Amino acid sequence: MELMGTNLVSFDSIFDRPYTFLDKLLSMKHILITGASSGIGAALALEYAQEGHRLSLSGRNRERLNTIAHLCENKGAHVHTALIDVCDRAAMTDWLLKTDTVHKIDLIIANAGISNGSGNADNWEESTRDIFAVNLAGTLNTILPLLPTMVARGTGQIAVMSSLAGFRGLASSPAYSASKVCVKAYGEALRLRYGKDGLKVNVICPGFVESGITRQNTFKMPLLMSGDKAARLIRHGLDKNKAIITFPWPMALATRLFASLPLWLVEGLSTFMPKKE
């Protein structure tokens, strides 16, 4: 783990402008986002970047992460970044606990994810394990360290990134869809278990969104959405505390119908689906 640029308010500035500082402090929100150096994660960071908000962003690409951090700072946010792999359980735990100790985290968005290569016979096993490691274990590494703390506080919000592909296992993307099925089910279960304790848990299930993941696809992607629009829809859903945030709605409806079909019919339809991985 490597921590990078921290933007903090000095005590001098507090006493120079006490009313302004207090006003900002009361409205300040601390959002932590993993996978923030590109795709939906970067778009979410920019969506939440505003005066009075504190952002803790992680990613694996230093240059891209620094670029996003600077853009967020230009919009008035206080930004703290960490060059860290979500698969590194010890480093994630250390970062999360220290970050929350400095400034209480209000919202965790476990966004980091991958999808590539598990359909390739040359590296099928390795890439399949990588997908599960990042999408599932990486999500657990992001939310478990602070889950007891948030439950004890009786406040806070956790959002996990699933997918419309997470409504059932897909022959076109076995590892990706299965990992997202797990994330979706776990997020739903956490919401049911801890909602009464004041913890908000939300599952995000996007369709095709412009990102590094979708750029690898060689097939036509219906209703492909920009990252900016996706981020706005996600933020709106989180503000409303929606249990499952799905979009775009025509594809979400089709996905729900497909998930309800009997397996024998799905087997027939799957022969027409392009391979994603």
User: Any idea what the CATH number is for the domain that residue 248 is in?
Assistant: 3.40.50.720
Q: Is residue 27 part of a domain?
A: yes
Q: State the DSSP code for 136.
A: I
Tell me the C-alpha distance between 249 and 164, whole Å: 11
- By three-state DSSP, how is residue 31 classified? strand
Q: What is the pLDDT of residue 268?
A: 76
Q: Is residue 275 part of a domain?
A: no
Closest CA to 131 of 144, 110, 104, 113: 113
Distances (CA, A) of 251 to 162, 176, 216: 15, 18, 20
Q: Is residue 197 part of a domain?
A: yes
Q: Which residues contact 220 (CB under 8 A, 6 or more apart)?
A: none
Q: Is residue 276 part of a domain?
A: no
Q: Is residue 99 part of a domain?
A: yes
Residue 265: which pLDDT band, with cuts at 50, 70 and 90?
A: confident
Q: Is residue 110 part of a domain?
A: yes
User: What does pTM read for this prediction?
Assistant: 0.85
pLDDT of 34 strictly over 90: yes
Residues annotated as catalytic are: 176
In the chain, the number of structural domains is 1
Q: Which of 21-30, 92-101, 133-142 has the lowest mean pLDDT?
A: 21-30
Distances (CA, A) of 169 to 172, 181, 255: 9, 7, 12
Q: State the DSSP code for 216.
A: T
For the chain, how long is the longest CA-to-CA vector? 70
**Strand 2-6 relative to strand 78-83, pairing:** antiparallel
270 vs 262: which has the higher pLDDT: 262
Tell me the C-alpha distance between 221 and 83, whole Å: 31
Report residue 10 as tokens.
């000095």
Q: Is residue 277 part of a domain?
A: no
Q: How many residues belong to the chain?
A: 277
Per-residue pLDDT of 77-97, as tens digits, reads 999 999 999 999 999 999 999
Report residue 113 as tokens.
């994810």
Residue 124: which pLDDT band, with cuts at 50, 70 and 90?
A: confident
Q: Is residue 47 part of a domain?
A: yes
Task: Name the residue range of residue 224's domain.
Answer: 2-270
**Strand 107-110 relative to strand 157-161, pairing:** parallel
Task: Give the pLDDT mean for 89-115.
Answer: 97
